[in-house]
Each structure stands twice: as structure tokens, then as C-alpha cells.
Amino acid sequence: MSNKIQGYVWDACAVSGVKGTKLMIMVRLADYSSDEGVSYPSVETISRQIGAGVSTIRSACNELEQDGWLVKKMRRNGNRNASNLYFLNVDKLEKIALEENAKLRKLREKASKSHHPDSERSDFDRTENNEKVRFDPPVSGVQDGFHPPESGGDPSVNSKHDPSVNSKEDPSVQVEPKKSKKLFDAKLAKPENVSDEVWSDWITFRKEIKKPLTETMCKQQAKKLAKCSDADAVICNSIANGWQGIFPDKVIAKVNKPNSHTGFGDKHYESQDPHWFVGGKNA
């Protein structure tokens, strides 16, 4: 792809009334073109890329040739037709494009109301030569320097992509790693006067009822159990009755009561009745 030719095509065709299918054909030819204006895409390829019929492409190319925008040369590859050679009229495209750029530059200079008009001159001077520009396709493009592929296929198109923008981090700024939140282990918060087995059962029971022990709960329960002579019995009583808390004052006379919670079949926990319930009636 020739960026120079493609720029000329857009600037020149825009002010010359070339539009629609003919404009798109010129753009596609420029996309395949070398800097000398030589390209050879097939009619079928152009038709597929711009969404127009093959007959429409051929008619538009003939009109462009009549208007002096290009020269088309037929070629054959053995016994079958190969893609045409197209020679864009680079001289005409360049002349019109530069003149248009010069006009736009002068308009910008006039709009800016510069105080030093003599110090600023246009990079492009309009030529006063109104003679028709003669255009002859380069001979070397067909004979010596230009060799289309034998298969007659389309030339490779080198698509130009915008460079990716890679964000750069300031090496002087150090990002502190996020500190992972430590998970609380209730086993490490076991009160001193509670056995390992009973405390493990208490932890499991609290998880079963969807009320796992927290660090604050363990501290509060440790204070209550510190005053108990039999802390294991207090916890066993809560498990047997399905309580989520511990109640040291309720550990009194025991009455057999089945345990409805699972996972404690091998344990011998019995329910404890509250202090206000004595002998089967209210005191």
C-alpha cells in the first residue's frame, strides 16, 4: 500500500467530483498500488471488497480511464486471462492534491490573521501552467521492474496498523502488596479449663447450626467458663439442648433427653433443665 498515492486519491478525487463506486475503486487501487501507481487486483476482488457487482466495476473502471484517472492494460497468463494492470495517473492526482492543499493552507493563514504575512509562505505554489498533463504508463513497470504473480492472483496487501500504546509504570513508585486477611482459628482460642475434645465438638456444633465461633465470642465465653468448676459440662449441656450460647448457671440436675443434632452420636451429652424447673413443675 502506498500512503502517498492514497493521500493523493482522497484529496484529488474529493474536489474533482469523483464519488460513489468510482471513488471506492480508486481507493482500493491505491491500497494495492506501489509509489509509482502500479497495481493489479482482480475485478472480482474489488467487487467483493466494495460490495458492487463485477459489471459495475468494469463500467466504472472504463469511465475512470476515459476521464484520465488511470490506464488499464489487459494481460494474459498462458491460455487464461490474468488480472488487469492498472496505472494510476500519479501526475494528475499529485497536481490536483497539491493545489487543493495550497488553497486550504492559504485559507488557514487568512483565518489566523497573521501579523507577518511576508514571513510565512505556502509550501506549495500553484502552477500557472494550464496545459493538459500528459500521462504515459511507465514502461519499466510492465517489462523490467514489475512482475505480477504467475497465478494472476491479487498482490499481497500490507495493512498498516496503529502502534499499540504500552503504558509505562514509574519504577520509583513501589506498590505495596495487599495483606491477606488472616482467618480466625477457633481451636487456638480454647479456654484453659476446657478439654480439647469438648472444645472441638463445640466448634463443630456451632458450624452445624450456622453460627461459627468468632474471636470475640471465644473471648466472651472464655470469661464465663473461667468461673466454672466443670467447663466441659457447661459446653456439653449447650450442645445437648441445641443452644448457641453457654449458660453455667443451668448445669444442675440432669434428665435424659434425646439429642436431635447430627454428628455427635458417639458422645454422651445429656440435657440440663433450667434452675426454675424442679420435679416436673414450676417452682
Query: What pLDDT does residue 56 have?
Result: 92
Query: What pLDDT does residue 267 have?
Result: 61
What are the pLDDT digits (tens) for 232-243? 999 998 888 888
What CA–CA distance (Å, rounded) separates 58 from 43?
A: 7
Domain 3-93 belongs in CATH node 1.10.10.10: yes
**Looking at the predicted structure, is the pLDDT value of residue 230 above 60?**
yes
Q: Which residue has the higher pLDDT, 19 or 141?
A: 19
Query: What pLDDT does residue 200 have?
Result: 92
CA distances, 106 to each of 37, 124, 126 (Å) = 29, 10, 11
Domain ranges of the chain: 3-93, 196-251
Query: What pLDDT does residue 214 have?
Result: 92
Q: Is the dihedral of CA 250, 251, 257, 258 positive or negative?
A: positive
For residues 94-124, one letter each, b for 16 or more C-beta atoms within 10 angstroms of the residue's C-beta and e for the rest, the string is bbbbbbbebeeeeeeeeeeeeeeeeeeeeeb
Q: Which residue has the higher pLDDT, 100 or 166?
A: 100
Q: What is the DSSP string of 165-213?
A: ------TTSPPPPPPPPPPP-GGGG--TTS-HHHHHHHHHHHHHTT---
What are the pLDDT digits (tens) for 142-171? 444 444 544 444 544 454 445 554 545 555
What are the pLDDT digits (tens) for 181-225? 678 888 888 898 999 999 999 999 999 988 898 999 999 989 989
